[in-house]
Amino acid sequence: MSYLLLSVLLLPVLSIPFVYLAGRKSAKSAALLLSLVALVTLALVLTTVPTILNSPSNRYVETYPWIPVLNSNFTLFVDGIGLSMVIITMVLMIAAALYSINYMAGKKNLPVYYTLLSLLFVGLIGVFISSNLLFFYFCWELMLVPAFFLVGGWGYKESYKASFKFFVFTHAGAVFVLLGIGAIYMLTGSIDLFTAEKLLLTQNPDIVRWILIALTGGFAVKMAIFPVHMWLPDTYAEAPAPMSALISGVLTSAGAYAIIRVSMETVFPAVAATSFGIDFLHGLAVFGVISAFFGSFVALAQNDIKRIIAYSSISHMGYILFGVSLFPLQTAMTGTVLHIVTHGLSKGLFFLTAGAIMSVFAIRDIRKMGGLAGKMPITGTASAIAALSLGGAPPFACFISEFFIFMGAFQMIPIDSFYIVPTALMLIATVLSLAYSLRFVSKVFLGPSNIKEIGEGEKKKFEVPRFMQLAMIILVILVVLIGIYPSFFINLINTATATFL
């Protein structure tokens, strides 16, 4: 059966008009329909797990004729990395849609809102399941359009200014991606990832390195790595909470996925044996360390509830880029991909809890909060779990992925002594991550309450409605479950990372 084409790609595409029509009658119906589509798609894509684990290639592949003049087939595939990305996309889309039922209630143009979410869903899935670079780029650009309108149309005061900055930065990055893809086709005559990987090995490394730089630079903009991070804080802060969860959990992670899949797995092997290859990995490590420290320090200084979480994302993208610099060590790469998963779930949860607080008390300054643990027990528990996970505390999800990254770093040090200093600095960065996480929890949920200063008596009910609670509970369960039992994702990811180089 054509699971990927019919069930994972066409089902979400065909559902878009039905989501809109359902939204015309009831916004809740549109949200539930979108959640159902994502759930069914998730169930169907999980049927590929036995093939991924047991087949010689450790991939599930579907190939269809497409553009003969480009010698191009329409190839869809999932391996341990791609399937992991698809899973977190589905889960976060379900959580965002359910959360939106209450969070977006009363807002204008909700049929369009849920339609745009459906379109964003299609773009994200296409990026993670395509080996055809032309279709990959189409979906890469497709993500920008619904994201621009979702942030601008339903965000806060300066939403369109933030969404325009997001669009300009990420589209500028996409130009370099397109140049890299075009150069790959000119050198190899192929736009298929796996065919191009083999053909690039026979090309001049001096040319291939520019392709690697262009692709990695373009993808790094989507990751919001320092110094191309400027779009992220405003976008995250001004976006509605469900969209913040999706951008931080999946869109930004798509940049990390693309660096691993396209830059490292496809292009880097052609220059791996050169001095440039070593310098390139060292450069990734340096930018990873800088991003981790920059994000952590600024998060510690912020008082806006959403900007704290936004700068935390920059910090964790630094962790991921540092992990990528350890390519091709299997332990490190498994930890890096796992951290994309764990960070996505934890950060998505963190933004949903921030949105819950803002929806109840209509404030963003953590200095005006305090003592909310007793007033919002479910939100408080979920927020503490998200914060502790992002702070690297066991037994939550991000701890195990960071552990694998550092295990890989320690394995690399005897091979390349350069990594002594970056590894030591990244260990210090984990302390800073825990510091801003604990500061957040302390200021918002513990200590004396400052709520009376903003009109506590006007609110008779402090905990958020049931669908917002359900969305947070789904992510809480996964963050705790992966932290305690990460074997499913580790085994899945290992099948892919074992083949690097």
Residue 350 lies in a domain: yes
Q: Comparing C-alpha atoms, which of 112, 5, 91 is closest to residue 43? A: 91
Crossing angle for the helix pair 144-154 and 159-188, to the nearest 10 degrees:
180
Give residue-wise pLDDT tens across range 44-55: 999 999 999 999
Asked if omega into 111 is within 30° of 0 (cis), the reply is no
CA separation, residue 135 to residues 191, 301, 322 (Å): 9, 41, 28
Give the structural domain span for 347. Answer: 325-501
Give residue-wise pLDDT tens across range 368-404: 888 888 888 999 999 999 999 999 999 999 999 999 9
Whether 2 has a pLDDT exceeding 80, the answer reads no
Residue 332 lies in a domain: yes
Asked if omega into 486 is within 30° of 0 (cis), the reply is no
Residue 377 lies in a domain: yes
Residues 6+ apart with CB under 8 A from 454: 361, 362, 363, 368
Q: In angstroms, rounded to a whole number, what is the distance separating the alpha carbons of residues 323 and 339?
A: 9
Residue range 481-500: mean pLDDT, rounded:
93
Torsion of CA 203, 207, 209, 215, to 10 degrees: -100
Residue 336 Cα to chain centre, angstroms: 12
pLDDT confidence of 96, banded at 50, 70, 90?
very high
pLDDT confidence of 496, banded at 50, 70, 90?
very high
Q: In angstroms, rounded to a whole number, what is the distance separating the alpha carbons of residues 268 and 261?
A: 10
Residue 373 lies in a domain: yes
**What does the H/E/C string look like for 23-77?**
HHHCHHHHHHHHHHHHHHHHHHHHHHHHHHHHCCCCCEEEEEEEEHHHCEEEEEE
Q: What is the pLDDT of residue 454?
A: 45
H helices within 201-329, ranges in order? Answer: 205-223, 231-238, 241-246, 252-258, 275-301, 305-324
pLDDT confidence of 115, banded at 50, 70, 90?
very high
Residues 6+ apart with CB under 8 A from 111: 19, 20, 21, 22, 23, 24, 27, 30
Residues 6+ apart with CB under 8 A from 329: 408, 411, 412
- Name the DSSP class of 378: H
The per-residue pLDDT of the chain, averaged, comes to: 92
Residue 71 lies in a domain: no
pLDDT confidence of 7, banded at 50, 70, 90?
confident
Residue 118 lies in a domain: no
Q: In angstroms, rounded to a whole number, what is the distance separating the alpha carbons of residues 318 and 380?
A: 27
Residue 87 lies in a domain: no
Q: What is the pLDDT of residue 476?
A: 97
Which run of H or of E encompasses 195? helix 193-200
Higher-confidence residue: 375 or 131?
Answer: 131
Whether 460 has a pLDDT exceeding 70, the answer reads no
Number of domains into which the chain is organized: 1
Residue 170 lies in a domain: no
pLDDT confidence of 458, banded at 50, 70, 90?
very low
Which run of H or of E encompasses 78? strand 72-78
Whether 457 has a pLDDT exceeding 70, the answer reads no
Cα distance between the two ends of the chain: 31
CA separation, residue 166 to residues 122, 151, 158, 228, 442 (Å): 19, 9, 13, 11, 31
Instruction: Kindly report the pTM of this predicted structure.
Output: 0.95
Residue range 463-471: mean pLDDT, rounded:
92
CA separation, residue 7 to residues 96, 121, 126, 135, 307 (Å): 21, 13, 12, 17, 37
